[in-house]
Amino acid sequence: MQIKGKAYRTIWFENNIVKIIDQTKLPHQFIIKELKTVEDSINAIKSMEVRGAPLIGATAAYGLVLSILEKNDQTFLKDSSEGLIASRPTAINLKWAIDRMMKKISGTNSNEILKVAIDEAKKIVEEDIDFCKNIGLNGLKIIEEIAKKKKDTVNILTHCNAGWLATIDWGTATSPIYHAYKKGIKIHVWADETRPRNQGANLTSYELNEEGIPNTIIADNTGGILMQRGQVDLCIVGTDRTLSNGDVCNKIGTYLKALAAKDNNVPFYVALPSSTIDWNITDHKKIPIEERNSDELSHIEGLDKDNNLQKILIYPQKSKAMNLAFDVTPAKYVTGLITEKGVCEASEKGLKRLFK
């Protein structure tokens, strides 16, 4: 998608270097950062210079390529894969990408391993773009139906950033929105701010602005009253891990939006590529929920009056804070899952119908 009229992807590989857009600096600064070692990749994921389930999967895949470039050695590769998997625990795409890369390169001789790894990382990236595009085409039908009935602007609420910045291109939750907009459907997006890191404000609103899509940032607790007032036609969110029974783990606060949507008969859809499905865990309590540094809550970053980025403390110095990054929305609150293969019921039956 576009930034200042120029098409970008969130990650690319050039002259044996991985390039990323540093998302910790958006929307105020647009900085392209170079990753040259596996440690750079681990740090970029941990610090959330790259974030979003599909993008951290792709970064991990390229992290293994960088590891082979650094030292073509099996022990180093194994340590690298473990370090990458541990860098963020909740999004399953990370482990999915590493397992896929390791399976592909295992048994490859040391002369060929680099080429095999680069090809597979590129495949993961291209496949994600393709999947996200198809998620958009499948989700478009839902928006078209609502637009046909309403004959007025369709208001869509989304949480966090499941936009193109969270993937390689198109996004998951935003892909149906981009497709609908390109088809001339009148759209307006409510972007939940998404405390503490404000991905909704800093990333979703930013990327929609760059594509010219009308949007309004709201505080995280505003969605409920908007739904009661009939100002939300549809919710679409992303996911970091979808269980085979249709339970959805996504950015903290998603669950509360799903409850409000249920109470107000607002359709609540979750958009995902199949790389986000965890076929192994069936009990959502077994999902490792990331707990991040409480500094992310107690401090906030923004521009001062001289346009310098500043970080300031906003909590009482002595207060403790707790920063759980994800929650789980049970399948019963999910109207449907929008995948690259079609839309299905949030259940094992629904998922298995699409993914045998």
Q: Does 45 bind ligand MRU (CB under 6 A)?
A: no
Q: Which of 250, 275, 335, 339 binds ligand MRU (CB under 6 A)?
A: 250
Chain residues 85-114 in contact with ligand MRU, contact rule CB under 6 A: 91
Q: Shortest approach of ligand MRU to residue 146 CB, angstroms?
A: 22
State phi, psi for 327 to the nearest 5 degrees: -135, 175
Interface with ligand MRU by CB under 6 A: which range of 76-84, 103-111, 217-225, 232-240? 232-240
State phi, psi for 24 to the nearest 5 degrees: -75, -15
Interface with ligand MRU by CB under 6 A: which range of 144-152, 160-168, 180-188, 339-347? 160-168
Interface with ligand MRU by CB under 6 A: which range of 48-56, 76-84, 144-152, 331-339? 48-56
Residue 303 forms beta bridges with which residues? 309
H/E element holding 210?
Answer: helix 206-211
Residue at 130: amino acid letter: D
- Residue at shortest CB range from ligand MRU: 238
Q: Does 278 bind ligand MRU (CB under 6 A)?
A: no
Q: Are 166 and 51 in contact (CB under 8 A)?
A: yes
- Strand 154-158 and strand 326-329: the pairing is unpaired
* ω into 27 cis (within 30 of 0): yes
Q: Which of 240, 247, 278, 327 is catalytic?
A: 240
Q: Which of 83, 196, 223, 238 binds ligand MRU (CB under 6 A)?
A: 238
Q: Does 239 bind ligand MRU (CB under 6 A)?
A: yes
The smaller minimum CB distance to ligand MRU, of residues 64 and 325, is found at 325
Q: Which of 251, 334, 335, 344 binds ligand MRU (CB under 6 A)?
A: 251
Short-list 197, 160, 191, CA closest to 311: 197
Q: Shortest approach of ligand MRU to residue 249 CB, angstroms?
A: 9
Positions of E strands within the chain: 2-3, 6-7, 11-14, 17-21, 32-35, 154-158, 187-192, 215-218, 234-237, 241-243, 248-251, 268-271, 277-278, 299-303, 309-313, 326-329, 336-339, 342-344
Site map (CB under 6 A) of ligand MRU, residues 186-205, x = contact: -------------x------
Q: Does 176 bind ligand MRU (CB under 6 A)?
A: no
DSSP structure class, residue 153: P
State phi, psi for 146 to the nearest 5 degrees: -65, -45
The smaller minimum CB distance to ligand MRU, of residues 104 and 340, is found at 340
240 has catalytic annotation: yes
Q: Which residues sit at the interface with ligand MRU, rule CB under 6 A?
A: 51-54, 91, 160, 162, 166-167, 172, 199, 238-240, 250-251, 325
Q: Which amino acids are annotated catalytic?
A: 240
